[in-house]
Amino acid sequence: MEVVPLATVDDVARLAADTIEALVRRGAGSAGSRDATGSTRAPAVLGLATGSSPLPTYRELVARHRAGTGPSYAGVRTFNLDEYVGLPPGHPQSYLATIRREFTDGLGLPPEQVHGPDPTPEDLPTAGERYEAEIVAAGGIDLQILGIGSDGHLAFNEPGSSLASLTRIKTLAEETRRDNARFFGSPGDVPRHVLTQGLGTILRARHLLLVATGEGKADAVAAAVEGPLTASCPASVLQLHPHATILLDEPAASRLARRDHYRDVYDAKPAWQGL
Ligand code: GLP
């Protein structure tokens, strides 16, 4: 894991945006690889998280795109991490509607390139399997943006989730419903069920980029990065990934025992290395 303690939310957003733009410029596939013809790569496949943590990054990317300084997003496809079950179609808080409004519409991505798990009630039993197949058919996710829940959840994989899980239906923890009540009227209005990529799905992405800001995330970040690998802290699964980058502002990094070491390592990073 590469843990990068930065000063502010804006620093996190800028570095995350730089990393995503570099990938989009490079195209699909892992950093050193070429595609089958050895020439032009396919457009990148991005995994997107909702929640407030990645919003400053999305805004930064859209602002650069509008200013004409960003890369071309032509052909880029995106896959959401998760989706609520039981919201009426077109509900503004559905994660697909949210990601289009907050991000992909601003990049000019057509809706057919923006994917999420399908919460149609009658198709739920096969929704997980179909979503996994869609991701595989797209060539897998090149870079997965992640936030972290205050209880250590990743996507909607609540504590206790199998570390090998794939996309499936889950029941939300009360803490998450309370946290997410700000997007709805009250905790009671937050759906109980969700579809979510599993921790095993997330581990298949080629690069994981977790952004966490604010003191409310400090305990979850410390448990994920420096605690044991355990289903009790689903985000600790990042420790198993060969290329996981964790961008933190100062308050989110405040409970890391090795914070100074991570900063030293980042400061001493060779310029050619990138994230
Ligand atoms: C939500 C989402 C996660 C998100 C997390 C943190 O419930 N399903 O993908 O990372 O909780 O949200 P926030 O960034 O708003 O704190």
Q: What is the pLDDT of residues 120-129, one digit of tens each?
A: 999 999 999 9
| Ligand 1, atom 12, residue with closest C-alpha | 51
What is the reported pTM?
0.94
| Ligand 1, atom 1, residue with closest C-alpha | 51
Question: What are the residue numbers of the active site?
Answer: 82, 151, 153, 158
154 and 194 in contact (C-beta within 8 Å)? no
Count the neighbouring beta carbons within 10 Å of the beta carbon of residue 258. Answer: 14
Structure tokens, 162: 């199998």
Q: Is 132 in the pocket of ligand 1 (CB under 6 A)?
A: no
Across the beta sheet with 193-196, what order do the strands follow?
82-84, 193-196, 168-171
Instruction: Name the pLDDT band for 41 (thresholds 50, 70, 90).
Output: confident
d(CA 256, CA 35): 39
d(CA 88, CA 111): 19
Reported as type and span, the H/E element at residue 73 is none
Coil, strand or helix at 81:
coil
**Closest alpha carbon to 97 in 89, 108, 106:** 89
Instruction: Give strand pairing partners of 80.
Output: 48
Structure tokens, 249: 């502002």
86-122 pLDDT, tens digit per residue, is 998 889 999 999 999 999 999 999 999 999 999 999 9
Ligand 1 pocket test, candidate residues 98, 170, 180, 202, most atoms within 8 A of CB: 180
d(CA 15, CA 197): 25
pLDDT above 80 (res 175): yes
246 — phi, psi (to 5°)? -125, 110
Distance 108 CA to ligand 1 centre (A): 24
